[in-house]
Amino acid sequence: MKQSTLLKVASTSILKNKMRTLLTMLGIMIGVGAVIVMVAIGNGAQLQIKNQIGGLGTNLIIVMPGSGMAGGVNQGAGTFNRLTVADADQLKRDGTMFSAVTPVVSTRTQAITPQGNWRTSVNGVSTDFTTIRSWNTSEGAFFGDDDVRSGRKVAVIGATVVKNLFANTDPIGAQIQIGKVPFTIVGVMATKGQNGMGQDQDDVILVPYTTAQSRLSGNVRIGQILVSAANAEDMAAAQAEVTSIMRAAHKLSGNPIDDDFTVRNQTEIADAMSGTAKVMSALLAAIASISLVVGGIGIMNIMLVSVTERTREIGIRMAIGARGSDVLTQFLVESVVMSLLGGLVGLGLGYGGAALLGHLTGWATATPPSAVAIAVGFSAAVGVFFGFYPAKKAAALNPIQALRFE
């Protein structure tokens, strides 16, 4: 039987009972739509995580204090701090794979203006901070290298600080008291929003690290060092170079496990969080795929009913020369056509459902082309798998018994 004839016969049979065909396709439509929505949510979550991690900084590597021992008991990461500005200077001087380095002197204190007061984070940084964090000012300007060298009392504030302390006034040039020290505001950072941990990145005041050390913290040790690798492809090598330079600076020659510092990069964080998102995405897609199996069972049931209803028709066709393979192919084509039509309609429903869900909830959604191909291909495979048994049953009918069937 010609392919065109097969398609014509299959289409006629499918359209003969439109309501039953629609109900048969419904399971596939719901299954494919559910898979597309679930994959879109999972993929969107992964992209959102990557964007949030990227917002932490450009190719960011973080050097933090290491662990310390007290009475033979390891106190955990961050309990033994030997980081100094000299370490940051050596990283900047000796590093060959870094584009920027800044020490970070962190404290949390009260900021006071005539309009009110607000407890916030204060970070002492160098001018490389804006390069590392890919963060520019929306008003005014960031302090310069001269301000850092001179230890000037200048500050750049985040949008949350502006909202709470300068709601109706221009903060540029205004005075702000940080702790007990007066600073002049020279800039306002662009809004950055929350990071992946839910922390408000705009609730911060940035000052020269030299000023933070001498006027605010009074501590020679610094909280961390931020390093930006020159290329994303060289993150592993850049991290290894950071470790090597830090070990030389601290005169460490023993087991790396005993290093008095810890080096991390946002790729590790991104991989961990993306891995979790991938597992959840796969789980959601697997659950949604159950709908496809249910839809396939529905197709098989309807096709079995169709074989019973059309037994006499099958007998007539076989009596006038149709082979068993022709009957098998005809019923398989009908099953696959219903599955594919249901899959295509489900695809549209999935795209629409993902877009609507993203609009109503604010969730990020993204549907990769591979998911579309897999969903449609799987719907066709369901048609073949669940349509084969009814088709085989039809092809195995005895023509004489089929003609006698009432």
The per-residue pLDDT for 73 is: 43
Strands 60-65 and 261-265, bridge-based pairing: antiparallel
Distance CA 157, CA 50 (A): 26
Q: How many Cβ atoms sit within 10 Å of the Cβ of residue 199?
A: 11
Residues of the chain with pLDDT under 50: 69-75
Give the residue numbers spanning the domain of 331. 3-52+272-404
Adjacent-strand bridge partners of 207: 124
Same domain? 203 vs 117: yes
Which alpha helices (DSSP H) does 68-127 contain, by range? Answer: 85-94
Residue 251 lies in a domain: no
Q: Do 183 and 123 share a structural domain?
A: yes
18-55 helix and 266-309 helix, angle to the nearest 10 degrees? 180
List of E strands, 66-148: 69-70, 73-74, 98-113, 116-125, 137-140
pLDDT at residue 397, as a whole number: 66
Regarding whether 219 and 106 lie in a shared domain, the answer is: yes
pLDDT at 404: 56
Residue range 369-400, pLDDT digits in tens: 777 777 777 777 777 777 776 677 766 766 66
Average pLDDT score over the chain: 79
pTM for the whole structure: 0.58
Q: Which of 161, 193, 225 marks a domain boundary?
A: 225
Residue where a domain stops, chosen among 193, 225, 257: 225
Q: Are residues 170 and 277 in the same domain?
A: no
pLDDT for residue 189: 95
Specify the pLDDT at position 128. 94
Please indicate, yes or no, if residue 154 is contained in any of the structural domains. yes
Question: Domain boundary residue among 186, 202, 225?
Answer: 225
pLDDT of residue 245: 92
Are 44 and 134 part of one and the same domain? no
Query: What is the total count of domains within the chain?
Result: 2
What letter represents residue 128's amino acid?
D
Q: How many angstroms separate the CA atoms of 358 and 283, rounded?
A: 20
